[in-house]
Amino acid sequence: MIDFSGLEKSLQVSFKDKSLLMQAFIHRSYINENPGLNLSHNERLEFLGDAVLELVVTDHLYKTYPTEAEGELTAYRAAIVNAILLSDVAQELGMNEYLLLSKGEKKDAEGKARQYILANTFESFVGALYLDSGYDVVQKFISTALFGRLTEIVSKKLWRDAKSLIQEKAQEHVHLTPAYKVMSETGPDHDKHFTVGIYFGDDLITQGKGKSKQEAEQKAASHALEMKKWVD
């Protein structure tokens, strides 16, 4: 079995119930391949962790931004608990090294599929930590792992939909509607990578890369906003 002591040390947490910690990293495919294992997969923990994460983030937003309206707070929350950001954080925390997947899932789960597995695992870990150590400990973990990102999201207004904003700004400043074009598409079906260009008329402004066309378009729009200094 995997030794999670290195992860506990790096995350500065200590589980009393090590089996609960392990369960947070068990994908359904691993159970299907190892039916004799006396543990369950992590989907129930993910369900719990999703709710705990939302509560902790909502509580933080409510207290940190006392003058913001409900709509802005909802947008902030959506920006911090989305799968792309959570998977990036999980990767940075080293959670990818501890995933328990079937051999087939290990081979096939790349790109966007791995993103969602990592995001779900982050939520499962939150659920497991809540059950094992209580609200205060899980609140401290989420604060350390996520709230630095939240500061950047709010200060740079990254919570706004970049494609909608660039369309608004382009029409205001240059009287054009941006267009997007796929510049390249690489990788096998399970691990596609897209490069998308954003154009004002015939002029290529910049490019964005992502694991889906939509993600690449958002990145291109975000880069264009920064280049044009239209991020207010």
Average pLDDT value over all residues in the chain = 90
Name the residue with tokens 């930590």: 129
pLDDT of 78 above 90: no
pLDDT at position 107: 62
Confidence bin at 149 (pLDDT 50/70/90): confident
Name the residue with tokens 């925390």: 93
| Contact between residue 16 and residue 132 where contact means Cβ atoms under 8 Å apart | yes
Q: How far apart are CA 61 and CA 151, in angstroms?
A: 11
Helix (H, G, I), strand (E, B) or coil at 179: strand
Name the residue with tokens 């159970």: 31
Q: Considering only residues 81 and 131, tell me which one the structure prediction assigns the higher pLDDT.
A: 131
Using one digit for the tens of pLDDT, what is the confidence trace for 38-60?
789 999 999 999 999 999 999 99
Set 46, 50, 215, 217: catalytic member: 50
123 is catalytic: yes
| Contact between residue 163 and residue 218 where contact means Cβ atoms under 8 Å apart | yes
Q: What percent of the chain has pLDDT over 70?
A: 94
Using one digit for the tens of pLDDT, what is the confidence trace for 165-200?
889 889 999 999 999 999 999 988 777 889 999 999
50 is catalytic: yes
pLDDT at position 232: 60
Helix (H, G, I), strand (E, B) or coil at 87: helix
- Alpha-helical (H) ranges within the chain are 5-11, 18-23, 28-33, 43-64, 70-80, 83-92, 103-108, 111-133, 135-155, 162-173, 213-227
Which stretch, 47-61, 77-91, 139-153, has highest mean pLDDT?
Answer: 47-61
CATH of 5-155, one of 3.40.50.450, 3.75.10.10, 1.10.1520.10, 2.40.50.100: 1.10.1520.10
Q: What percent of the chain has pLDDT over 90?
A: 60
If one counts every other C-beta atom within 10 angstroms of the C-beta of residue 63, the result is 8
CATH of 162-227, one of 3.40.50.10320, 3.30.160.20, 1.10.1040.10, 3.40.50.300: 3.30.160.20
Write down the domain spans for the chain.
Answer: 5-155, 162-227
- For the segment 201-213, the average pLDDT, to the nearest whole number, is 92
CA-CA-CA-CA torsion for 81, 83, 84, 85, nearest 10 degrees? 30
Integer CA distances (angstroms), 149 to 10, 157, 192, 228, in order = 19, 12, 26, 23
Set 3, 59, 110, 123: catalytic member: 123
